[in-house]
Amino acid sequence: MILSAQTIRRIKPIKPFVERTKEFGMTYGLSSAGYDIRIAQSIKIEPKDFVLASSLEEFNMPNNVLAYVKDKSTWARQGLFVQNTVIEPGWKGFLTLELTNDMQIIPRYLEKGMPIAQIVFHFLDEPTEQEYSGKYQNQPSGAQLPLFEK
């Protein structure tokens, strides 16, 4: 089940938590069935390039909620894509965003605080007994490179 604005507002899995707000000509914060997050640093993405960035918001996922990271349509219509990923129940930290500029000749400039992606939250059928406890738990702010198991 996809969570409504009122349920997301009640559980507040993101901080800082804000109601729907507009900046840089785009919305962020709580939507009718999700939450739009912002980028934590200013970056330039060259054409056909891939970069890592971080969310300005910090997550604290309940053990009965899973979320999907999705493209924000304004950016997708311009060829800038956020690699879709899953935020596991029990995960805590700042989200690392994987960004791709699919344009052939136009670089993209993103300023700190710009809305960048949308998060869609889902309830599990019951709270999980296996909360996330992997290598990205309590991830700090700033783009995190991949960590490989030893």
Strand partners, 115: 38
Answer whether residue 37 is part of any domain. Answer: yes
d(CA 17, CA 15): 5
63 found inside a domain: yes
The residues that are catalytic are 98
130 in any annotated domain = no
Number of domains in the chain: 1
CA 11 distance to own-chain centroid:
17
- Give the up-direction half-sphere exposure of residue 111: CA atoms within 13 A in the CB hemisphere: 5
Indicate which CATH number applies to the domain containing 42. 2.70.40.10
Residue 75 belongs to a domain: yes
Question: pLDDT 10s digit of each residue in the chain, 150 long?
Answer: 999 999 999 999 999 999 999 999 999 999 999 999 999 999 999 999 999 999 999 999 999 999 999 999 999 999 999 998 999 999 999 999 999 999 888 899 999 999 999 999 999 999 999 998 888 888 888 877 777 766
Residue 73 lies in a domain: yes
22 in a structural domain: yes
Contacts of 60 (CB under 8 A, 6+ apart): 13, 14, 15, 92
Domain range for residue 68? 5-123
State the pTM of this model.
0.92
